[in-house]
Chains A and B, each alone.
Chain A
Amino acid sequence: MSEAVLRPARVALVGNPNTGKTALFNALTGSRQKVANYAGVTVERKEGHLTTAAGRSLSILDLPGTYSLRARSPDEAVTRDAVLGKLAGEEAPDVVVAVADATNLRLVLRLILELKAVGRPMVLALNMYDIAQRQGLRIDLEGLQRELGCPIVTTVATRKRGIDELTAQVDALIASGVLATDNVWHEPSAGEIRTAHREAQRLLRAYVRPPERPDTLTAKLDAVLLHPVAGLAVLLGLLFVMFQAVFTWAGPPADLIEAGFALLGGWVGQMLPDGLLKDFIADGLIAGVGSVLVFLPQILVLFLFIILLEDFGYMARAAFLMDKIMGGAGLHGRAFIPLLSSFACAIPGIMAARVIDQKRDRMTTILVAPLMTCSARIPVYTLIIGAFIPDRAVGPGLNLQGLVMFGLYATGILSALVVAFVIRKIFWRGAVEPFLMELPTYKMPSAESVARNLLLRAQIFISRAGRIILPLMVLVWVLSTFPGPPAAATAPAIDYSFAGMIGHAIQPLFAPIGFNWQMVVALIPGFAAREVAVAALGTVYAVGDAEANAGALGARLAEQWSLATGLSFLAWYIFAPQCAATLGVVKRETNSWAWTGVMLFYMTALAYLASLVTYRTAVALGWG
């Protein structure tokens, strides 16, 4: 028992994708979990803790889903190396918990045979057992347990059923002192995979009786959702609803946050004596935090859709429907998921590109992911659209502002397809990878799991806001406050500051695309994170006004900028690689400065070109 006191026993969850592995992880560890990255790679490492009824403390590792230990992607390589104990900074697990979807055992049985060869003590968790029972699927647990030589526990992770039994089995396995046997695993050959399938088939025949009432819902839904025409229509409709929801649902809470921070700024302004400290806290700090947090509702709405669709099982259908369209541009159908995530933020999107097995497809996806309109662009788009595009209906349920927004998104998507096509032609000369994907059965998402996932995304956003954006806001405040104006100043104070100097110095470069120096100043901090540009514009145009809200700033911009300039700024933001964090992730994921450089160069070039064309066209139309 003394060993248990010294360190928790390590348990690794291994299973096919879509087996409810993460739900089981949540049910086991509750809120006692933390998310980080594995050393040296950017695969998400989810670890949690729990104490068993017998008082043993367990550390649970939720490994990426896989069909085989023969890893084909970086995520799957993490699973393989973690199970084999070869992962840098990780010890081999004391117990492996194989997680299986009780209604879909064939492929996982083959994985279990591989896991057995590794020789670690193992428990099999037959998850979603309630669905199996409802279908009238009979599993001879005793027999299967005997054949596999490992204890079997039935679980319903979403309802927390079987969790205590599972931890008790793990506990008993450790307490019994079962040691790992020799690892005899090696990459299976084609012949060995066939043999393993035959063995799995034999086990299924012997111990599993097919369901009396098989799932018919999936087939019925697929008849519509995978229909060549209706399916695509549903997908497009979903995307449209998603973007409209980002605007309408997120509006009221965003207004509330904005009003709250304005109130706080005003209150602090009254409490503190006039001077630098008051300016710093009210205009630098509070306004800065507020201008970032105001986007939290939009990010949450977007992630809510993505998480729901993922948990429901729709994402694989979307990949199916989009495969040919994306394939024409040289993208893998699976790139759809990373690209869709990139609508929230390119960083998780680029990281999600790890689900793509092949390096070329991954590289292409990573390079175009930032062209998807990420949520950090929304504040910029909202501000400029609010200032320059009239808010009027152009049809039933259609609003001109919403339409322009849709157009900006569409431009991003179309240019991503074109760029992907060009990348394939230039760098890969046309080779196409195989496309194989399981279409999981549809499942009702569990409210708790969705909420937990959403909370995690909110935490990641807030910590990013806190660590990267807030210091930058302070930097912008310093740059735009010092040096102060001379006593006999006539122009606004910011004209005399460092920010003003930098803006004036490089403005000639941006003159051809219609940017004034204030915009150039806002671009500088905007390079750290796109949404900072809005707060920076607020600082540049309204320093000293803590109540500066999007409406007031928009009105100010409408006075100061021509329509052509506003449109040019929008065009710039479709393409500009204005996010240092994204470039950092690209460097980490591709492990290459050259690819990062390619991205920086092509996006800047596209941004300048698009703004130039937009500005010149708009001026020619008399909107200058």
Chain B
Amino acid sequence: MHDMHPEARAETQGDHVGCIRLSTAQPGARGEIVEVRADHADGHGVDVHELERRLLEFGFVEGARFELLHQGLIFADPIAIRLDDMRVALRRRDAEDIWVRLDVR
């Protein structure tokens, strides 16, 4: 039930020069979402496309501005994000599919 769909996009990480996964960002990090691409299915209770649609529905879309506000006590997880003009909480593992470009300070 966690199968990778054959049409899962095959771009390499080469597209993301200078970008990081949101899951690796630290508190205070801010920037812009470059791509939302659910490409790893392991361990999620839903398939990759469902995860991608859920992220999109919560406003994790290409071009959205974000700032990492807070993180949890244990393993710095979950994280609270300011996303455009709202606040969203998610786990780091679900944030792996979100590629972001950090602002240059």
| A-to-B contact residues, CB < 8 Å | 67-68, 70, 72, 103-104, 106-107, 110, 188-190, 193-194, 197-198, 201, 210, 218-219, 222, 226-229, 232, 316, 319-321, 323-325, 327-328, 333, 358, 360-361, 430-441
Q: Who on chain A is nearest to B56 by CB?
A: A193
B46 within 8 A of partner (CB) = yes
Least distance between A156 CB and chain B CB atoms (Å): 20
User: Is A227 in contact with B86, judged by CB distance below 8 angstroms?
Assistant: no
Docked Cα-Cα span, A328 to B72, in Å, equals 13
Instruction: Count B interface residues, CB 8 Å.
Output: 38
Docked Cα-Cα span, A327 to B53, in Å, equals 23
User: Is B88 in contact with A438, judged by CB distance below 8 angstroms?
Assistant: yes
B77 within 8 A of partner (CB) = yes
Q: Who on chain A is nearest to B63 by CB?
A: A201
User: Is A320 in contact with B59, judged by CB distance below 8 angstroms?
Assistant: no
| B-to-A contact residues, CB < 8 Å | 2, 43-46, 49, 51-59, 61-63, 69-75, 77-78, 80, 84-91, 93-94
User: Is B44 in contact with A433, judged by CB distance below 8 angstroms?
Assistant: yes
Q: Which of A67, A210, A321 contacts B57 (CB 8 A)?
A: A67
User: Is A436 in contact with B70, judged by CB distance below 8 angstroms?
Assistant: no
User: Is A228 in contact with B54, judged by CB distance below 8 angstroms?
Assistant: no
Docked Cα-Cα span, A103 to B63, in Å, equals 20
Q: Who on chain B is nearest to A103 by CB?
A: B85
User: Is A70 in contact with B57, judged by CB distance below 8 angstroms?
Assistant: yes
User: Is A194 in contact with B61, judged by CB distance below 8 angstroms?
Assistant: yes
Measured between beta carbons, the chain B residues less than 8 angstroms from A433 are 44-46
Q: Who on chain B is nearest to A323 by CB?
A: B78
User: Is A228 in contact with B85, judged by CB distance below 8 angstroms?
Assistant: no
Q: A226-B69, A360-B45 are in contact. Are A434 and B90 (CB under 8 A)?
A: yes
User: Is B86 in contact with A104, judged by CB distance below 8 angstroms?
Assistant: yes
User: Is A106 in contact with B72, judged by CB distance below 8 angstroms?
Assistant: no
User: Is B73 in contact with A232, judged by CB distance below 8 angstroms?
Assistant: yes
Q: A222-B70, A226-B70, A436-B94 are in contact. Are A193 and B57 (CB under 8 A)?
A: yes
User: Is B73 in contact with A107, judged by CB distance below 8 angstroms?
Assistant: no
Docked Cα-Cα span, A361 to B88, in Å, equals 20
Measured between beta carbons, the chain B residues less than 8 angstroms from A110 are 57
Docked Cα-Cα span, A190 to B51, in Å, equals 10
Q: Which of A198, A222, A327, A431 contacts B45 (CB 8 A)?
A: A431
Docked Cα-Cα span, A222 to B70, in Å, equals 8
Docked Cα-Cα span, A198 to B63, in Å, equals 9
Least distance between B3 CB and chain A CB atoms (Å): 14
Q: A106-B59, A434-B94, A439-B88 are in contact. Are A320 and B72 (CB under 8 A)?
A: yes
User: Is B53 in contact with A193, judged by CB distance below 8 angstroms?
Assistant: yes
Measured between beta carbons, the chain B residues less than 8 angstroms from A434 are 44-46, 51, 54, 90-91, 94
Q: Who on chain A is nearest to B69 by CB?
A: A222
Q: Which of A103, A190, A218, A325 contacts B56 (CB 8 A)?
A: A190
Top-3 shortest CB links A-B: A228-B73, A433-B45, A439-B87
User: Is B72 in contact with A358, judged by CB distance below 8 angstroms?
Assistant: no
Q: Who on chain A is nearest to B75 by CB?
A: A324
Q: Could you say which of B44, B52, B53 has the most chain A C-beta atoms within 10 Å of its C-beta?
A: B53
